[in-house]
Each structure stands twice: as structure tokens, then as C-alpha cells.
Amino acid sequence: MLIRIRSLRVQHEGSEVSVGIVIICGEHREQKTLPIMTEQYVDLKLSVGEITEELYDRIEEASVLCSALRSGEHLLSYGANSAQMLTRKLMQRGFSKEVSSLAVERLCSMGLINERQDLRREVEKCLRKLWGAKRISAHLWSRGFDQEVIRELPALLEEVDFSANCAAYIRKHYGRIPDAPNEKKKMVAALCRYGYTLQEIKQGCALCEQMP
């Protein structure tokens, strides 16, 4: 079997190199184009001409990583992702755990994933939805934020008046506190699901009753 690099073309404003390869085995001839990152091209010291099967395997591995990086960048363009969540999404797209983890590690080093900054933005979104602290915490865990980053949550929520937020939720969704005991019980259950404590719900109800 003969494997030969037939072309090397710079693309994506110099961030990638497209490697054109031809594989000849008897009468069978196959051509491939494998994109790799420019830094990978430099590390592999590629040039036009015949290459070994071992080098070809390394080029293929580099191309898979390059594809994972591009896929990760595409996912990040739609919104922030924690490192853990982005790794899961890449694996769902068919990349191995090893390649997905390595791609996410590279994206972090490039500054494209900043979990502390993303967590603050996610907390702000949750507060705009009038969520209680318990639901916010559960949401952040489900998003895969690193444990060390989530430890900053109490400090971020320290000055939030959740009783006032609870009252705002009641006014927005109920107008006022329901008179019927069964309806009031359902409201309390809904507020608990939204992450409010019973003390915050009690204080929130009191604030609503003070409103004209």
C-alpha cells in the first residue's frame, strides 16, 4: 500500500491546513482531504510526498480532534456551556470521550470556556425567571458546572431578597394569594418547586398581603 500527501492548503485564515492524501492499494485508489489545526501541521512536520502508515494514522487522529474543536466552537456560538456539558454534547455527536475531553481542554485554554463568568450569567438568567436558591443550585448542577465554581453560588446570592422575589412570582402568576385552601396549597407546592423555602414563601405571602 502506498500513501502519499498530494497537497497542503492553508484555510480558515491560517488556523487550519487541509491535507490532501491519496491511498493506492493494488488497483484501488482512494483520495481523502483531512483538515488539521495549523499547530498540528507544525508538530507533524508534514510535506508533500510519500508517508508511512503510522504518520497517516497520526494525521487522521489530528483531523478528528480538529473536527471536534470546530464542533465545540459551533456549539459555543449558540450559548455558554460548562466544560462537562460540552464534553457530553461532543460525545453525543460521535466523538470519543478522550477526543471530546481533549477538545474541551483546548477550548478552555483558548479562553472560549470561562465557567465562572458563565455561571454568573446563568444565575442572572435564573433570577430574572424568579427562581429560588434551591432551584438555581439544582439547575447549575444539571448544567455540569465544576464543583469549585458552584461553591461561589452562596456569595453570588448573598444580597438577593428571595422573599421579595417570591412575592413578585405570586403577583405575576396569581395576581393575589388564592382564597380557597386547596388553591393556596397548590400555589405553595409550585413555589417549592421553584426553589423557595417555606420561610421565604411565608414572608412572600405577607408582602403580597401588604400590597394594595
- Contacts of residue 135, defined as CB under 8 A and 6 or more positions apart, other chains included, come to 126, 193, 194, 195
Q: Are residues 134 and 201 in the same domain?
A: yes
- Residue 86, pLDDT score: 94
Length of the chain: 212
Specify the pLDDT at position 23.
Answer: 94
Same domain? 197 vs 144: yes
Say if residue 212 is exposed, middle or buried (CB neighbours under 10 Å; 0-12, 13-18, 19+).
Answer: exposed
Query: Does 105 map to a domain?
Result: no
Give buried/exposed letters for 105-120 (b at 16+ CB in 10 A, else e). Answer: ebbeeeebbebeebbe
Report pLDDT for 212: 62
Same domain for 147 and 206: yes
**Does residue 91 form part of some domain?**
no
Q: Same structural domain for residues 199 and 141?
A: yes
The model's pTM is 0.70
CA distance 143 to 126: 13
Q: Is residue 87 part of a domain?
A: no
At 63 the pLDDT is: 96
The reply to whether 21 falls in a domain is: yes
H or E element in which residue 105 lies: helix 97-109
The gap between the terminal CA atoms of the chain, to the nearest Å, is: 86
Query: What was the pLDDT predicted at 143?
Result: 86
**Model pLDDT for residues 58-104, shown as the tens digit of each residue:** 999 999 999 999 999 999 988 878 899 999 999 999 999 999 999 99
Does residue 151 lie within any of the structural domains? yes
Count of structural domains within the chain: 2
Those residues whose C-beta lies under 8 Å from the C-beta of residue 174, and which sit 6 or more positions away, are: 187
Q: Which domain holds residue 73?
A: 2-78
Low-confidence ranges of the chain (pLDDT < 50): none
Verify that 127 and 59 share a domain, yes or no.
Answer: no
Q: Is residue 107 part of a domain?
A: no
- The verdict on 145 and 203 lying in the same domain is yes
